[in-house]
Amino acid sequence: MELWFLGTSAGMPISGRNVTSIALRMPQDRGTFWLFDCGEGTQHQLLSTPFRLSRLEKLFITHLHGDHLFGLPGILSSRASLGGTEPLELYGPPGLREFTETALRISETHLGYPLHIREIEEGTVFEDGAFSVEAALLDHRIDSFGYRVVELPRVGALNTRLLAELGVPSGPAYGRLKSGEDVVLEDGRTVRSSNVVGHPIAGRVVVVLGDTKPCPNAVKLAQGADLLVHEATFAHDLADKADEYGHATSVQAAETARDAEVGRLILTHFSSRYKPEDLAVLEAEARNTFLATDAAIELTPYLIPRSSLSE
């Protein structure tokens, strides 16, 4: 799994930084990617990545401010034009359906795939056998959600060397043991699944927060995550301005990461007053509180390994 930041600027793009969007590359066996927010220009940024729009599976909108949303109609249209036929799930606050359907209707955009729009509340918004996604409201000027993506534990590896020593023939018996079923061999011996299957492989937890002031839900949602993405709209000398506009500073983001005991913090959503070369200052401020902090660099992959927090 990897994160790619397609935009890290707050409010409006500047030279060298686009407005907010984040791509999450899913595990290889899934072969898809998810998007979190879709600011104007997102599809242009995707052209500089390995992602194909036809493989976009889910799109999560944190809130309905334009710098997080205005690229959505273009993404939906281009996905159809590029031959996407698989269903696309779109999640976000109430009002998302009206925005999306109005834009598509007025522009006479016809999609060649099913679009399922889910206007969400707090709680679990998606779950299948591999992942779950939980949403929680944050503290911004309008409803703004954070998303907690949890990779569910996987079955441990088969001890094939031990199976060979026991004389278990490869094939269906291996699959039954892997699924937790005990197997009786032709000579009457019973091979127990618990003896030949390793410990479950813990999944990873990634938390992407929308715009927010410091708030209890941010800490709760991020608790124990392997990676937290948190806005840092302002340096800490502008804490009063951050509070006035419903945003957080670099230090406040680090305090949330520290309190939630996450593995890594990546800062994003930087005010347009900060040029790319200024981001080292925000990063350094945050590292004084939470060392494992990086200021996001656009179009750079951030690997999400299985860390000690998830083992």
Binding-site residue numbers for Zn(2+) are 63, 65, 67-68, 140, 211, 269
Mark the binding-site residues, compressed into ranges: 63, 65, 67-68, 140, 211, 269
What is the β-pairing status of strands 183-184 and 190-191? Answer: antiparallel
Catalytic hit among 29, 37, 67, 237: 67
On whether the CB atoms of residues 54 and 83 are closer than 8 A, the answer is yes
Cross-strand bridge partners of residue 5: 22
At 113, the amino acid letter reads Y
Q: Is 67 a known active-site residue?
A: yes
Would you list the DSSP string of the chain? -EEEEEE-BSSS-BTTB-BSEEEEEPPTTT--EEEE---TTHHHHHTTSS--GGGEEEEE-----GGGTTTHHHHHHHHHHTT--S-EEEEESTTHHHHHHHHHHHTT---SS-EEEEE--SEEEEE-SSEEEEEEE--SSS--EEEEEEEPPBPPPB-HHHHHHHTPPSSHHHHHHHTT--EE-TTS-EE-HHHHB---B---EEEEE-S--S-HHHHHHHTT-SEEEEE--B-GGGHHHHHHTT--BHHHHHHHHHHHT-S-EEEE-B-TTS-GGGHHHHHHHHHTT-SSEEE--TT-EEE----GGG-
Helix 72-81 with 96-106: angle, nearest 10 deg: 60
247 closest CA partner among 144, 159, 107, 167: 144
Catalytic sites, residue numbers: 67
